[in-house]
Structure 1
Amino acid sequence: MSDKRVYSDNPRVLAVQTLAKIKNGAYSNLQLNQIIKQHKLGEADTRLLTTLVYGVIQHRLTFEYWLEPFIGSKKINPWVRELLYTAVFQMQYLDKIPQHAIFNESIEVAKILGHVGIGKFVTAILHNISRQGLRDVADIKDDVERLSIEYSLPVWLVEELIKQNGDKHARQIITSINDAPKQSVRVNTVITTDEEVVQALEAENFIVESSKVAAHAFVVSGGHVASSKAYHDGWLTLQDESAMLPVESLHLTPDVKNILDAAAAPGGKTTQLAQYSAPDAIITALDVHEHKIKLINHNAERLHVADKIHARVLDARKVPEQIDKKFERILVDAPCSGFGLLRRKPEIRYDKTIEDVASLARLQAEILDSVSQNLAKNGIMVYSTCTILRQENDDVVTKFLKNHPNFELMPTKTSYKLKLDDSEKALHVYPSDYQTDGFFVATLRKND
């Protein structure tokens, strides 16, 4: 961060400050929400701030490659580097802002957060870029390195995606990862209908399209849905379309009374379980953090399903020790690397390593092994993650089945019968398939 204590409502200043904080470990979505709440920004400034922050994070390795010839070994303040990245992002990816405006605004930000000397340094760099141009990523000879720089993904992740999916499919996934995420909602059919929600949103000038991925779901544009009356009244909740699929695949029927959500926070799937289950069903929702239990309860109250949800602090690996109940259905939406969420949380690509993936796979296996002991005979357990790496998906399920011969893998069936023609029984949803988050869903049945 800049040494100067600056309060400003200038979206470019806020973008640089936010990016510096994210580089220091803050999460992009949480930091952005906090900044937007603290400052009185109009819709256009909020949109510019969001675009700059996500744009720089998504393309950070590309910007490093482009700027290296102009900066070289010079030691510069991290916030100055973020400022240069925002300028290059606007020059390369935003076609409605003229170059002279980008230069003038960037130099002004340099002066606000620093001093005249930094302003002159930024001026010199930007004018050199204008005169000399940026080097072409296509000049990189190595295919993996080129993909890494062009789409700003670590080399190890590019290598894994190619190894696991083949070159053609991996490229489809990689080229879709930096697309803008869609805003999607799930209708709360406990208190309203799809038709009523569409009418309510359209009355507030939202554009509403039916989901092709999940039932009672819509893709919404034209505004901030969480500010709508329908959201405030609990008629809907924000949830990615692919995130709705694990609950759909649990085959909830009227005779299912006891359901375990083993890793429940923040409660999106927990409230979906309450919505789809019998009126007298009880959902036991677990998380290891007290503040996240409060978040689950808050979401349950807003959606008018709190009477069906019993949330408690408990590590899912301790379920057999602490809970003697048997459940007809168990959802394990496991903690994971989150590589299916790169559109929404772009910074995680730089934080995670292949060693982290292996560590998470061990945790996921421990959770599955633990909660499976509380599944009733002929009960169904769904294992899901929001990652696209097989180490945390297929490999975890394969290991579990090897160690638990009384379980079988069933075809994962969703409301819209996604990918049922695939040879694999588990469901893999990649970001390139439906322009949603990447997700994995496996459906397991206990036979004794």
Structure 2
Amino acid sequence: MTTNKSNPRALAVETLERVQNGAYSNLQINNVITTSTMSEKDVRLFTNIVYGVIQHKLTLNYYVDQLVQHTDKLQPWVLALLDSALYQMIYLDKVPNRAIFDESIKIAKQRGHDGIRRLVTGVLHTVGRRGLPDLNQIQDPEQRLVIETSTPQWLVEALQAQLGNDRTNHLLATINQPAHQSIRVNRHKTTPNELQEKLEAAGFTVRPSTVAADALVVSHGVAAQSELFQAGLYTIQDESAMLPVQALPLTGSELVLDACAAPGGKTTQLAEQLTSGRVIALDLHAKKLRKIHENAERLGVADRIETQALDARRVDEVFADQTFDHILVDAPCSGLGLVRRKPEIRYEKSMADVRHLATIQQAILTAVAPKVKVGGTLMYSTCTILNQENRENVSAFLATHPNFEPVVVPTAHQLKPDRATPDLAIYPDDYASDGFFIAGFRKGSE
């Protein structure tokens, strides 16, 4: 297959086809942008189409099912082409239908036989004349919510059981909104005010975060491509993801274990807050640990970090006689709190995956608990929004570890001050940040 490297719509179809076959959308998008000859405007269109089609996949597939017979027999690229065309017609107000029709039919003609061209032409002209099928014809309210928000039924049911119908509806109404681009200021090299001035001078629009300390929300530019990023003045991190480290009572001289460190955002965040202290970062894969080293070098904190390729469940095999002032367990999880940033994640997971991950999370907590010094803190976090991986784990841990007591998770901006539990659960519709869960435990005795 040869695709015009400057055609955003053709590249979007090709990328969506690869994602259907199991590729990660963010990696594919970055690879295409790097190797293409698209203009900046076309890069935005390409990225918008790919993420938008994935976000609205169940909605778009429903429309195609109503418009085409035997959709199960369509080649993946044809379904991706129809989805991308419908997405542009429905969700992109500034793109004229004429351009969508012309480009989509041209792609069909280039990649397929005449029958496919006629099929695509017929579908688009039918929608142009008659409009889209009415979602209100779906009688079952739950099934209509599944299609309207493009959320798998198992996840809708889990959220309804956990949050109730009204809160679930509100949450799901927001998950297809664009994710903010947020950065963590490297206090080792600059201050938030200084960095904001430099970013604005470079053309970015910047505002301080209302969620996390030392965080800025930026737009009108790609933060990861700035010279200020290369100089190590900041790193890319969601606002919610900064909170677990900020909740630790660090003074600068501690020995801290980052038990599940990759990709290393929290490892470097810990290191930035240490002076004479050290972070020992664990991860299963040595390749991922090398990435942590690269980021630490860029940020100027590599001298405070040690890495070890190790499953956190086996921590006692390597650190038999070692204890730590604090331990962070940013546990492997379903990642459902990242649905805005990684839209395909909702279609790839199941409740069986969630329960399997919860078992792993509990095993990690149990393994590291003896390594916390008396008076030290064990901080547990996940980037998911389901109780099975969050509050149920907290209850299970406290039931089997009476020498630990829960502590209130503090935040610089006093998030959810009236919450009924000491832990902090953030949903994507709370602050337009990633969904996250954070719980802290203090060790009272051996």
Query: How far apart in 1 are the matches of 2:269 and 2:37?
Result: 34
Corresponding residue SS for 1:317: helix
Matches within 5 A, 1:351-370: 351-370=348-367
Query: How far apart in 1 are the matches of 2:401 and 2:316?
Result: 16
Structure 1 residue 276: deviation in Å? 1.6
Contact 1:328–1:376 (CA under 8 A) maintained in structure 2: yes
Q: Does residue 7 of structure 2 align to residue 10 of structure 1?
A: yes
Q: Which residue of 1 aligns with 2:431?
A: 434
Contact 1:58–1:346 (CA under 8 A) maintained in structure 2: yes
Matches within 5 A, 1:88-107: 88-107=86-105
Query: How far apart in 2 are the matches of 1:67 and 1:117?
Result: 17
Query: How far apart in 2 are the matches of 1:415 and 1:139?
Result: 47
Q: Which residue of 2 aligns with 1:326?
A: 323
Contact 2:3–2:11 (CA under 8 A) maintained in structure 1: no
Structure 1 residue 9: deviation in Å? 2.0
Q: Which amino acid aligns with 1:308?
A: R
Structure 1 residue 420: deviation in Å? 2.3
Q: Which residue of 2 aligns with 1:87?
A: 85
CA distances 1:193-252 after superposition (whole Å, capped 9, x unpaired): 112211110111100001001111110001101111210100001100000000011111
Contact 1:287–1:312 (CA under 8 A) maintained in structure 2: yes
Q: Which residue of 1 aligns with 2:267?
A: 270
Q: Which amino acid aligns with 1:368?
A: L
Q: Does residue 305 of structure 2 align to residue 312 of structure 1?
A: no
Match of 1:114 among 100, 112, 115: 112
Query: How far apart in 2 are the matches of 1:90 and 1:35?
Result: 20
Query: How far apart in 1 are the matches of 2:264 and 2:111?
Result: 40
Q: Which residue of 2 aligns with 1:253?
A: 251
Query: How far apart in 2 are the matches of 1:245 and 1:81?
Result: 40
Q: Normalization by structure 2: what TM-score? A: 0.98
Corresponding residue SS for 2:29: helix
Contact 2:52–2:87 (CA under 8 A) maintained in structure 1: yes
Structure 1 residue 116: deviation in Å? 3.8
Q: Which residue of 2 aligns with 1:70?
A: 67
Contact 1:6–1:113 (CA under 8 A) maintained in structure 2: no
Structure 1 residue 267: deviation in Å? 0.8
Q: Which residue of 2 aligns with 1:280?
A: 276
Matches within 5 A, 1:171-210: 171-210=169-208
Query: How far apart in 2 are the matches of 1:72 and 1:246?
Result: 50
Match of 2:296 among 293, 300, 305: 300
Query: How far apart in 2 are the matches of 1:78 and 1:206?
Result: 38
Q: Which residue of 1 aligns with 2:124?
A: 126
CA distances 1:313-367 after superposition (whole Å, capped 9, x unpaired): 0000000121131101100000000010000100011110000000000000001
Query: How far apart in 2 are the matches of 1:125 and 1:65?
Result: 13
Corresponding residue SS for 1:424: coil
Q: Does residue 381 of structure 2 align to residue 384 of structure 1?
A: yes
Corresponding residue SS for 1:440: strand
Query: How far apart in 2 are the matches of 1:257 and 1:247?
Result: 13
Percent same amino acid among aligned pairs?
50
My pick for the range that moved more, 311-320 or 115-124, is 115-124
Query: How far apart in 2 are the matches of 1:88 and 1:113?
Result: 18
CA distances 1:107-156 after superposition (whole Å, capped 9, x unpaired): 11112222444222211121122223211112212121111000000011
Query: How far apart in 1 are the matches of 2:429 and 2:162?
Result: 15
Q: Does residue 143 of structure 2 align to residue 140 of structure 1?
A: no
Unaligned runs of 5+ in 2: none
Q: Which residue of 2 aligns with 1:218?
A: 216
Corresponding residue SS for 2:212: coil
Query: How far apart in 1 are the matches of 2:299 and 2:39?
Result: 29
In the alignment of these two chains, the number of paired residues is 443
Corresponding residue SS for 2:263: coil
Contact 2:331–2:381 (CA under 8 A) maintained in structure 1: yes
Q: Does residue 58 of structure 2 align to residue 52 of structure 1?
A: no
Q: Which amino acid aligns with 2:277?
A: A
Contact 2:362–2:393 (CA under 8 A) maintained in structure 1: yes
Q: Which amino acid aligns with 1:447?
A: G
Q: Does residue 397 of structure 2 align to residue 397 of structure 1?
A: no
CA distances 1:62-91 after superposition (whole Å, capped 9, x unpaired): 011111122121522110010000000011
My pick for the range that moved more, 114-123 or 132-141, is 114-123
Match of 2:150 among 149, 152, 157: 152
Corresponding residue SS for 2:399: helix
Query: How far apart in 2 are the matches of 1:5 and 1:97?
Result: 25
Q: Does residue 326 of structure 2 align to residue 337 of structure 1?
A: no
Q: Which amino acid aligns with 2:206?
A: V
Contact 2:5–2:37 (CA under 8 A) maintained in structure 1: no
CA distances 1:6-41 after superposition (whole Å, capped 9, x unpaired): 353211011000000001111111111111111122
My pick for the range that moved more, 112-121 or 422-431, is 112-121
Q: Normalization by structure 1: what TM-score? A: 0.97
Structure 1 residue 437: deviation in Å? 0.3
Query: How far apart in 1 are the matches of 2:441 and 2:124?
Result: 57
